[in-house]
Amino acid sequence: MTSKEQFNKWANEYEKSVYSSDQNNTYPFAGYKKIIDNIYKEIILQDKANIFDIGFGTGILLSKLYDKGYNILGMDFFEKMIKVAKEKMPKANLFKGDFSKELNDEIKKVKFDFIIATYSLHHLRDEEKIKLIIKLYQLLNENGSIIIGDIAFETRNELNKCKIKYEDEWDDEEYYFIYDDIKKMIPYENTFEKISFCSGVIRIKK
């Protein structure tokens, strides 16, 4: 098997595990496709847009937007993900970097209409999420939006219920959004849309 075939196999397996969890309506990816579709449909209401995807992974959402002709920038720190995504989007500006530390200089120079983060920010603790959101907000055009689709719960009680049900699969090293807590920490107007029992979309509009 060539290395390109190996990467594709690995990416297919990643995507298969996401879709299978979603189809079976189980933690952690129940609601995944709906989140991707909702964000996609929201963005394509606008003809032209600068879009920044933070933690683009294999580019499931970003490549759909790339195919529509939007100006795409992305950042991820996992070589394999970047390589697979680059195959889908050869002309996109995809950068390697750690968003828990700094944003790449090339990204900081641009103003965006949409900054999207799907299933990537739960790797950060809440204080780190807020620091990043503040940095990202500075990069928005007037009327621009940050759209976060992720494993998320409206209340701690809902998270606890999910944790009990899925105690064998539960990942204690991830920090899921609890909207009741995070809404007060975000210093901008924000909304939450519940998508499944373990997912939702947080929107922050400038």
Q: Is the four-CA dihedral 63, 47, 43, 121 of positive or negative sign?
A: positive
Tokens standing for residue 177:
């959004």
Q: Does 60 bind ligand SAM (CB under 6 A)?
A: yes
Please, are residues 44 and 64 in contact by the beta-carbon 8 Å criterion?
no
CB of 11 to ligand SAM, least distance (A): 10
Please, are residues 73 and 139 in contact by the beta-carbon 8 Å criterion?
no
Q: Does 57 bind ligand SAM (CB under 6 A)?
A: yes
CB of 157 to ligand SAM, least distance (A): 25
Per CB under 6 A, the list member of 55, 74, 144, 200 interacting with ligand SAM is 55
* Radius of gyration in angstroms for the set of CA atoms belonging to the chain, rounded to a whole number: 16
CB of 94 to ligand SAM, least distance (A): 11
Q: What secondary structure does DSSP assign to 58-112, as a single string?
A: T-HHHHHHHHTT-EEEEEES-HHHHHHHHHH-TTSEEEE--TTT---HHHHT--E
Q: Does 95 bind ligand SAM (CB under 6 A)?
A: no
Q: Does 81 bind ligand SAM (CB under 6 A)?
A: yes
Q: Which of residues 98-117 bind ligand SAM (CB under 6 A)?
A: 98-100
Residue nearest to ligand SAM (CB): 57
Q: Does 166 bind ligand SAM (CB under 6 A)?
A: no
Residues that bind ligand SAM (CB under 6 A): 55-57, 60-61, 76-78, 81, 98-100, 118-120, 123
